Amino acid sequence: MTEGERLAQFSELVRGSSLKRFKQVVVEDRGWQPFTGQLNFVDLLKHLVDADRWVMAILKNEKQIPRPIIKPGDGKPEEWDRYFREFENLGKEKTEIIKRLPESEWSQDVEDTQVMGKTSKWLILVRGNLDHEIHHRGSLQTMLNLKYKTAK
């Protein structure tokens, strides 16, 4: 199994777990936030879509776009279905890109001027995207617990 195939498999597992959690959010709660001034469910979803677009531009050697930054209220609850479809589709597209990336490109230098500095495509994917999604999935799970498990 190649490095790309291993990373693609991990990416699929991460995305599947995130999707499972986002599916638990009911329509009327998409804009819910645990406290005023914090991210809500749809903000998290939009941010992860933006993060996929950012990392895929890097993996495809396209013009680098700014690393996504999210603020409370940036996501629009009425756009949930579009964000969700994008999140699902971008996850599949990202997995295919990762699978096909030549071994030689994983060590290719990438400049992340906002956070990591000069690094590799491998680290951008693993730390800048997959670990980033896992981090936000933890926030998402905490929000789900606060909204749905403490309400019973």
Residue type at 81 in one-letter notation:
D
Question: DSSP string covering 104-134, please?
Answer: GGTT-EEEETTTTEEEEHHHHHIIIIIHHHH
Which comes out higher in pLDDT, residue 64 or 106?
106
The residues, any chain, with a CB within 8 Å of residue 116's CB and separated by 6 or more, are 123, 124, 127, 128
30 closest CA partner among 22, 70, 90, 38: 22
pLDDT at 124 over 60: yes
The whole-number pLDDT of residue 34 equals 94
pLDDT at 94 over 70: yes
Average pLDDT, the chain: 93
How far apart CA 4 and CA 41 sit, in angstroms, is: 31
* All domains of the chain in start order, with CATH: 3-149 (1.20.120.450)
The whole-number pLDDT of residue 151 equals 52
136-147 per-position pLDDT tens digit: 999 999 999 999
Which comes out higher in pLDDT, residue 67 or 31?
31
